[in-house]
Amino acid sequence: MKRPEITQVLLMAHGWGYNHRFFNALLTTLPESTRNTTLFVCMEAGYFPEQAKQGLMIHTPGIRTQGQWIHYATEVLHNLVLAYAEVPWLGLGHSLGFSKLLEFSVRWHSLLSIHGFTHFVKSDSNTQGNPPRLLSRMIQKAEHNMPEVLRDFHNRCGHHAQWATLDEQTLLTDLRSLQDLNTAQALQQTLSQGAELHAWASNTDEIVPLALALQCFEHTLKEQNRVLHTLASEHAGIATAPARYTDTLLPLLSQH
Single-letter amino acid, residue 48: F
Please name which of 52, 65, 54, 63 lies closest in space to residue 162, comparing C-alpha atoms. Answer: 52
Q: What pairing do the DSSP bridges indicate for beta strands 55-59 and 69-72? A: antiparallel
pLDDT at 1 (0 to 100):
40
Which homologous superfamily is 8-253 in? Alpha/Beta hydrolase fold, catalytic domain (3.40.50.1820)
Confidence tier at 67 by pLDDT (50, 70, 90): low
Write out pLDDT tens, residues 160-178.
Answer: 999 999 999 999 999 999 9
What share of the chain has pLDDT > 70, as a percent? 95
Q: What length does the chain have?
A: 256
The model carries a pTM of: 0.94
How far apart (Å, rounded) are the C-alpha atoms in residues 61 and 36? 5
How far apart (Å, rounded) are the C-alpha atoms in residues 96 and 100? 6
- Who's near 212: CB < 8 A, 6+ residues apart? 117, 120, 128, 129, 130
Write out pLDDT tens, residues 219-256.
Answer: 999 999 999 999 999 999 999 999 999 889 999 998 77
